[in-house]
Structure 1
Amino acid sequence: MPILLALDASSSACSAALLHRREGADDLLISRFELTPRAHTRRLLPMVDEVLAEAGVAPADLDALAYGRGPGSFTGLRIAAGAAQGLAFGLDRPLLGVSTLQALALGAHRRHHYRYLITALDARMGEVYTAAWQCDRGRVEALTEETVMPPERLRLPAGHADHDWVGVGSGWSLWEAMPAEVQAGMGLCLPDQEAAAEDMVLLAADAFAAGEGRPAAEVQPVYLRDRVAWRKSR
């Protein structure tokens, strides 16, 4: 059964996780997670070493690698992408990029059993990265595309306004700028929750089983706002 390693540095948190899906036994899931602003470069690879050592797994035993592909901190995404691509290239293993917004949704679902979630990350410049999700039994289905927008433009997904929505991620710190109809539709907000490699490795395992692994050079970060940032800098 496959063994996957995931790493993430897309936010102020830094994390790594290893998943070994074992036939006839419970999955082995080992992770490290720290809030380490401005220390991702120093902590990320030691975390990788720690989870491998705890699992008793050598790098050559890995079947695939994954990383938080974004959206998120431009610098953090490049740090994680570089580390993951380097490991995948050196081991000749496939690489998978995992959405940080989807990982946030899965994390809230796994820990609190919430079903309808809008994940939002503070994108700075008066904008948020956001998407809506429906979760059921560990599965996460996108109800909207991932996008970047001013918080004033945020809307509940069409046809789903009557659900009890939960907001997850740093973008919900911009609550006062959200439209009144969005505020009225939210049952709870968790602005302090961060994306974690523990959830990313689970999403990556499903994607790997579906044949979505790619050569390391083909997997790139997803910034969502790269073109917008370029236009505003002119």
Structure 2
Amino acid sequence: MSWILAVETSTEWCSVALGRAVAGAGIECLVRHEHTGARSSARVLPAAGELLAEAGIALADCAAIAFGAGPGSFTGLRTACGVAQGLAFGAGLPVVPVNTLLACAERVRAAEPALPADISVLVALDARMDEAYAGAFGWDAAAQEWVERTPMLVSAPETVQLPGGEFWLAGNAATVFGERLAGLARAQRVLPEAMPHAQPMVAIALRALARGEAIDADRAMPIYLRDKVARTVAEREAAAAARAAATAGSAS
């Protein structure tokens, strides 16, 4: 069966997985998932080499290379995309960009196979700059794929768009922002540990590959929801004043 190599560096973790579908046994997966901080670029290639050696295959034996396309850390997304492109060019392989929010939802489904059909998974991740990346997804059992229930956006935690009906809340924004995060009190379950990870990306990429959705390496691009990576001093002061005014208004 086809192997997929997946690399994910959108957070402070360097996550690499090598997996394939095994008839009657789900997905066989080898993983390296390490907290590296800003050193992911130095660790991702050695980790990939370790997994290939452990599986006893060469990179060219893979069917495609998947990468965490974002949203996430600007530098981390560029690292994952660049590594995937370089490996793919060298081995003559296609790539599969994987949405990092969707990977979090897939991680929830893997941990909770009995996810109710009418429950959405709202993924909200700390985007720094006092904002959150968020998007909601629902699992379509008939199509065996996720469907988008709210668009992916970056916004203040108080203004995260909530899906209709009941939902589970995944990602670290609940821990980072607490009660400021819209929907925290409404969530049926809160799963802050469901963060971007290469292992669920393998499952997503295998389904995409089966649908013929792999692309040429030169078309690979990160998903940026934010046009810039830092606010000016004036913008930070204006945002702080707006939050203070909102707090004062709610108190009165």
Extract structure 1 runs of 4+ deviating beyond 4 A. 22-26, 228-234
Q: 1:132 and 1:24, CA in 2 relative to 1: closer, same or farther beyond 3 A?
A: closer
Q: Give the 5 Å matches for 1:8-157.
A: 8-22=8-22, 27-113=27-113, 114=115, 115-135=119-139, 139-157=145-163
Once residues 98 and 63 of structure 2 are traced to their aligned partners in structure 1, the CA distance between those partners, rounded to angstroms, is 16
Q: Look up the SS of the partner of 2:104 in the other structure.
A: helix
Aligned 1:219-234 pairs, distance under 5 A = 219-225=220-226, 227=227, 229=229
Which letter does structure 2 place at the counterpart of 1:88?
Answer: A
Q: Greater CA deviation, 93-102 or 184-193?
A: 184-193
TM value normalised by structure 2:
0.82
Segment of structure 1 superposing worse, 30-39 or 4-13: 30-39
Q: Which residue of 2 aligns with 1:168?
A: 170
In structure 2, the residue corresponding to 1:185 is in which secondary structure? coil
| 2:238 aligned residue | none
**How many matched pairs?**
227
CA distance in 1, matches of 2:71, 2:25: 35
Alignment-derived partner of residue 186 in structure 2 = 185
For 2:73 and 2:28, locate their aligned partners in 1 and report how far apart those are by CA, in whole Å: 30
**Cα drift, residue 105 of structure 1:** 0.5
**Does the aligned pair in 1 maintain the 2:95–2:216 contact within 8 Å?**
yes
Q: Distance in 2 between matches of 1:21 and 1:52?
A: 16
Q: 1:190 to 1:141 in 2, by over 3 A?
A: same
Shift of 1:150: 1.1
Cα 1:222–1:58 change in 2 (3 A) is: same
Does the CA contact (< 8 Å) of 1:8 and 1:80 recur in 2? Answer: yes
Counterpart-to-counterpart distance in 1, 2:214 and 2:161: 33
Identical amino acids, percent of aligned pairs: 38
TM-score by length of 1: 0.88
Q: Which amino acid aligns with 2:148?
A: A
Shift of 1:141: 2.2
Gaps (5+ residues) in structure 1? none
Aligned CA distance change for structure 1 residues 123 and 64 (closer, same or farther; 3 Å): same
Deviations 1:172-201 (A, max 9, x none): 22122134xx23311222224321111111
Offset at residue 117 of structure 1 (A): 1.1
1:2 offset after TM fit, Å? 1.8
The equivalent of 2:249 in structure 1 is none
CA-to-partner distance for each residue in 1:119-162, whole Å, 9 max, x for gaps? 011111221110001136674222112111111112321xx32x
AA matched with 1:140: W
User: How many Å apart are 1:202 and its aligned residue?
Assistant: 0.9
5+ long unaligned stretches in structure 2: 236-252
Amino acid paired to 1:211 = G
- Residues 127-136 or 18-27, more deviating: 18-27
Q: Displacement, 1:26?
A: 5.1
